[in-house]
Structure 1
Amino acid sequence: MIGSITKTRNGRQFQINKRHTRKRLDVSELTLGMHIVELDRPWIESPFLFQGFLLESPDDIRMVQDVCSWVYVDVLEEEWQEHHGATAGKPQTRQRFVEKQEMAQQLTQANRTYQATKQQVKTLLNSAYLGQAMNMEGAKVAVKECVDRVIHNPNAILWLTRLKHQDEYTAEHSVNVCLLSIALGREMDLAPYELENIGICGLMHDIGKMKVPPEILNKPGPLDPQEFEEMARHTTYAKQLLMGRSDIYPGAVDVAYTHHERLDGKGYPRGLDASKISLFTRIVTVADAYDAMTSDRCYQKGMSSIDALKILNRHAGSQFDTDIARQFIAMIGLYPPGYLIEMTNGEVGIILSSDPGFSLKPKAIMVLGPDKEPQPERIINLANAPQDDRGEFYKAAGVFRSGTFGVHVNDYISKGLRIKGFEFCMQD
């Protein structure tokens, strides 16, 4: 057993027990992305160099088929047991293949979606700033694509929310809040159409800032009381920009107007209490706060993910919805994609993702050696208990923001990584 969680689906509560195991397959059933862990013959009698490998190309599959009749592959076994009050129904078992799809392809597709959505946001922000009519059709298409990507592979799209540029803060923040809200909605089992609606809410939540004077919006220091009062009006400006439009989800108006309200009634602009704050506003509020806290601004450096999560937890119940904040914290986890991970042996890598059920054992691209000097990049998966050159098991020692140890994640993305099993170029 590797873990047990409780989930609610369509009003029904399930206890899910997860176990990492193996499944025997005929070689005719093999597909790209499966991880081979055992052959139908001794490894020494095969042409394969390593005991255990990922099927990364059709040639890999054909080579296995030429040698073997059957193999064992990694699977994640889930036992779903529904609870009916004090009683429990008969458990149902599901099997999921580990690493079904190549992260390389997923990241490339996710980046295209991210960049297209950011361009749509820039267009909308510019229209709002100039007082021109906003065309929402492109934004709707982009948000639908974001939903598809998050459903397909949340790690790939959320990885991109870490790659931030201070000079593009407003546009990237809007996209990030959109994506984080969709991902959180997915964790809460919202329907696809609801995910599209929450995505629009996240995308448009800060549109009113385009009516705030630039010298206040971009001030490199604390705002004085009068400036803060003007900044706070961005919620009212958003309501004025969006109210009465027939081409936008109506709930987006409410979210843009109320995303700075607090459950304890101490927020703005109206000081609403919990009874008057909608579900979508509560979701966007958490996503908005987290992305803002972890972003570098002209007046302050962003904090680490773990520190931001601690603040969400500390203010759960007063500023943030308790259940939503805790689900968000669980979703982001201790090892969020796009952050740096230092191992106990001193090596440093970039966190990619984690297999289902292995949230404390992520995958990472190792980029620095124990001496903190660049080394040939390679991928390790802590769930597979990899060993370093000394035969010691890799163990995580700490998580750090991009830029620590001189490693800037953006630099790796801009030059395009070329790694066996993770070949992609974010410039495509």
Structure 2
Amino acid sequence: MANIKLAVDRLTTGLYVKLPLQWTDHPFLLNHFKIKDQQQLRLIKNLNLKYVYLIPEKSDNPPLEPDAKPEAISEQESQFLDKQAEKLWKEKQRRIEHLKNYKLRVQRCEKNFSRSLAQLRSIVSKIKSRPVTAIDEANDLVSTMVDALMESENVALHLMNDKKEHEDIYFHSLNVAIISMMLAKTNGMSAEAIKHIALGALFHDMGKLKVPTAILRKTTPLTPPEENYLRLHTKYSLELANLADTFPEAAKPILEQHHELIDGSGYPKGLKGDQITANAQLIALVNAYDSLCHPQDASKARIPYSALSYLFKNKKAQYNNEYMALLVKLMGVYPPGSVVQLSNQQLGLVISVNTNSLLFPNVLLYDPSVPSNEAPIIDLEESDLKIERAIAPDKLPEQVYDYLNPRVRISFYFDPND
């Protein structure tokens, strides 16, 4: 779309304009919008701008003629508009402060994520040679995370900014642990039960350390012998856990049963329904979700929105439906990591969920007039915008992709002080 420089004195309602200002330098929610009333018109003029950018394709009306006289307003109307403008400025300052605090929380969250990931790498490196030490360290890691999780009423799940490659087992195990812990908390489980779930999640795939890398990284269909070898990882995970007496018995069924399915179509024993422990049913669901987002063949990866929708629509017979409903509540209809198009056609990246209003998450907006590191994060519940659809990242224009930086690897962590 062509942007046309337009003198401020030619503005009228119905024009779609873009302000030549930073997002923090004006009281409007966005840098570009359609002027809907005299209040917005007056507010733009009070910014002391000489011009704005007009986007004709999105405008309802033509601009005023250069010599047109602006519509006269009474002193009473003028005072009212000034008061309304002052309210908008105060609201914008509140939003700016909220955004600063939000970004600080995300930074703290990313530090905790990096710390937990480093600890998990250390644990994995010791699991074969020093299993007792590894499991003791895992218990310490889990205790720290669960204590942080349980200490706050409001816990938000955030999208993490990680760039590591070829560390699938760490990211996957930590992802499954984080989501499972929050799912368990949402389900009202005790801190002790959540610790068992978290420990089981961290170790559920450790048996893959004994599976040849060629099988683990194969992107074409596995042969029957290769598939059988891969399926042994549940047995190997349990064997590794049994090397230390300190691994809780309550967590062990997770290692063995996280691929068992409610309808009996899973492995290794083809268990059905209640034959599978509740904790293993929970981990099985979260494991399936993360695996859909990160399959070995990256070309088959689903965006978070699609992964969640697929499970909900097609896999109800295989997974615990109560946990599935809770997963939707936790992740939101549009989970963190989803690229979305808003009702004003603007694009954004969902970075955290509003658990009280699942259709209105927090979205980082694409706005080329704002540097990407200063991009506004909007709480959709506080705006008049809504999500129209989710978009596959590979369908984005290059400049939008570079700006939003949609994660190739979708990782999550929680902020207990949200």
Distance 1:350 1:191 in 2: 33
Q: Secondary structure at the match of 2:179?
A: helix
Instruction: Name the amino acid aligned to 2:375.
Output: E
Preserved CA contact (<8 Å) 1:158 1:180: no
Segment of structure 1 superposing worse, 255-264 or 121-130: 121-130
Distance 1:383 1:313 in 2: 24
Distance 1:216 1:264 in 2: 27
Preserved CA contact (<8 Å) 2:207 2:236: yes
Deviation at 1:260, TM superposition (A): 0.7
Matched, 1:159 2:159: yes
1:23 match: none
Deviation at 1:228, TM superposition (A): 0.3
Distance 1:138 1:54 in 2: 44
Deviation at 1:332, TM superposition (A): 1.4
Q: Secondary structure at the match of 2:366?
A: strand
Q: Secondary structure at the match of 1:136?
A: helix
Distance 1:171 1:127 in 2: 14
Matched, 1:377 2:375: yes
Shift in CA distance, 205/362, structure 1 to aligned 2, threshold 3 Å: same
Distance 1:274 1:110 in 2: 37
2:264 match: 265
Q: Secondary structure at the match of 2:365?
A: strand
Deviation at 1:171, TM superposition (A): 0.8
1:52 match: 91
Segment of structure 1 superposing worse, 345-354 or 403-412: 403-412
Preserved CA contact (<8 Å) 1:209 1:238: yes
Distance 1:303 1:148 in 2: 32
Deviation at 1:222, TM superposition (A): 1.4
Matched, 1:398 2:389: yes
1:192 match: 191
2:239 match: 240
Q: Which runs of 5+ in 1 are unaligned?
A: 1-41, 61-98, 387-393, 414-428
**Higher share in strand:** 1
Q: Deviations over 1:2-26 (max 9, x none)?
A: xxxxxxxxxxxxxxxxxxxxxxxxx
Distance 2:111 2:142 in 1: 13
Q: 1 or 2 for the larger relative contact order (CA 8 Å, sep ≥6)? A: 2
Shift in CA distance, 343/128, structure 1 to aligned 2, threshold 3 Å: same
Shift in CA distance, 324/130, structure 1 to aligned 2, threshold 3 Å: same
1:249 match: 248
Q: Which runs of 5+ in 2 are unaligned?
A: 1-79, 408-418
Instruction: Name the amino acid aligned to 2:327.
Output: F
Distance 1:102 1:294 in 2: 30
Matched, 1:284 2:310: no
Distance 1:109 1:169 in 2: 23
Deviation at 1:292, TM superposition (A): 0.6
1:24-35 paired onto structure 2 within 5 Å: none
1:293-372 paired onto structure 2 within 5 Å: 293-298=292-297, 300-368=299-367
Deviation at 1:129, TM superposition (A): 5.7
Preserved CA contact (<8 Å) 2:261 2:271: yes
Deviation at 1:154, TM superposition (A): 3.6
Distance 1:409 1:189 in 2: 39
Distance 2:377 2:239 in 1: 49
Q: Which of the two has higher C-alpha Rg?
A: 2
TM-score (norm 2): 0.67
Instruction: Name the amino acid aligned to 1:174.
Output: S
Shift in CA distance, 232/134, structure 1 to aligned 2, threshold 3 Å: farther
Deviation at 1:354, TM superposition (A): 4.4
Instruction: Name the amino acid aligned to 1:313.
Output: F
Distance 1:355 1:303 in 2: 22
Instruction: Name the amino acid aligned to 2:389.
Output: G
Aligned length: 323
1:194-209 paired onto structure 2 within 5 Å: 194-209=193-208
Q: Secondary structure at the match of 2:340?
A: strand
Q: Deviations over 1:164-219 (max 9, x none)?
A: 75522111000000001011111101122222221111111111010101111112
Preserved CA contact (<8 Å) 2:117 2:170: yes
Distance 2:259 2:330 in 1: 22
TM-score (norm 1): 0.66
Distance 1:164 1:287 in 2: 22
1:63-102 paired onto structure 2 within 5 Å: 102=101
Instruction: Name the amino acid aligned to 1:377.
Output: A
Preserved CA contact (<8 Å) 1:166 1:297: no
Instruction: Name the amino acid aligned to 2:207.
Output: G
Preserved CA contact (<8 Å) 1:403 1:409: no
Distance 2:312 2:186 in 1: 18
Q: Deviations over 1:363-420 (max 9, x none)?
A: 21212459xx97962222221225xxxxxxx33222235555242588589xxxxxxx
1:141-152 paired onto structure 2 within 5 Å: 141-151=140-150, 152=152
Segment of structure 1 superposing worse, 256-265 or 339-348: 339-348
